Amino acid sequence: MIEATPSRTALATSLMRAVHSRRDPSPLIDDLWGDRLVSKIECDRFRERGLSRMDADARAAALRQPASLLDDFFLASPAYPGVVLRSRYAEDALKAATKRGTRQYVLIGAGFDSFALRRPPFSEDLEIFEIDHPATQALKIARIRECGITLPPSVHFIAADLASETLAAVLARSTFRSHEPAFFSWLGVTVYLTREANMATLRAVATSSAPGSELVFSYVDQIEFAEGGRRAPDHPTAQAVARLGEPYVSGFDPGEIANDLKRAGLELVEDLDGDKMAERYGRTGANQLRPSATMHIALARHP
């Protein structure tokens, strides 16, 4: 991302979750916070982006129904199904971890995630640690305050640039208890980092946490970076995100993900591609969720 600029993708995914909660006939998540946290100025920018991608006829039709323009823009995004499904998967895994006694939740690259605001019943005893780039986190904190919300002491914001500081060092600046199991989520981030940075973060999760800790993370099959793939530099989608200052950088090989995790000190528990995610969580109706087969969500454990 561009230094000193909040992540546009963090804002977009927050709005996608809100759109899903309002518009899907059988929503998998209940998260309307994007409608409150993302400012009108930012929403207007996304509307302009949507309009700029339309031909003259489509633009005229969209402007006749301005109230639904932004929702329709996000519902049509290739990223939308994966954003919703990875959020549901991570929260299911976190809930299971709390039943086993986990009392710490670390969000790496938290963005505009709303878990600390929603606080479902199973999370009452959780200490929540949100780690994110200073620019994105500062905007989020400002928007929370503008909404008149005061968070409890169990929610901790830790501003950090993980490109220049290790996860272990970041957690050491907080009240995180490295001798106790924790649950980590790392969603929508790996595709924007180099392989070296991704492996370093995986190793840091292992070395910073107690045995029994778990990590849910999303990744894309590295085949997408091959010539003609959607993440290849010359693909229109890749060019669009690059213009936002958040270019696609790397993926993982699903056939090697277990070995990658083992080298980092973790073990693979489960790896679902887009087809398997749709099979587990698929819903029929107007907004049927069918992510790309190359989109993955994985669960790893510190043995």
Q: What DSSP assignment string belongs to 11-61? A: HHHHHHHHHHHHH-SS-S----THHHHS-HHHHHHHHHHHHHTS-HHHHHH
pLDDT(234) > 70: no
What confidence tier does 1 reach under pLDDT thresholds 50, 70, 90?
A: very low
34 neighbors 18 (Cβ within 8 angstroms): yes
Percent of the chain with pLDDT over 90: 72
- 110 vs 53: CA distance, rounded Å: 29
- 10 vs 136: CA distance, rounded Å: 8
The per-residue pLDDT for 246 is: 74
128 neighbors 116 (Cβ within 8 angstroms): yes
Q: Which of 264, 248, 250 is nearest to 184 (CA)?
A: 264
Percent of the chain with pLDDT over 70: 93
Mean pLDDT for all residues in the chain: 91
Q: 240-297, pLDDT tens digit by residue?
A: 666 666 788 899 999 999 999 999 999 999 999 999 999 998 765 555 788 999 999 9
Instruction: Tell me, yes or no, if the pTM score tops 0.85.
Output: yes
The per-residue pLDDT for 244 is: 62
Lowest mean pLDDT among 118-122, 209-213, 217-221, 224-228: 224-228
The per-residue pLDDT for 276 is: 94
Residues 6+ apart with CB under 8 A from 67: none
Q: 6-59, pLDDT tens digit by residue?
A: 788 999 999 999 999 999 888 999 999 999 999 999 999 998 888 888 888 888
SS3 helix, strand, coil % of the chain, rounded to 5? Answer: 45, 15, 40
The per-residue pLDDT for 62 is: 80
Lowest mean pLDDT among 78-82, 133-137, 245-249: 245-249
The per-residue pLDDT for 67 is: 75
The per-residue pLDDT for 253 is: 97
What fold, for 80-301?
Answer: Rossmann fold (3.40.50)
Q: 140-189, pLDDT tens digit by residue?
A: 999 999 999 999 999 999 999 887 888 999 999 999 999 999 999 999 99
Delimit the domains of the chain by residue range.
Answer: 8-75, 80-301
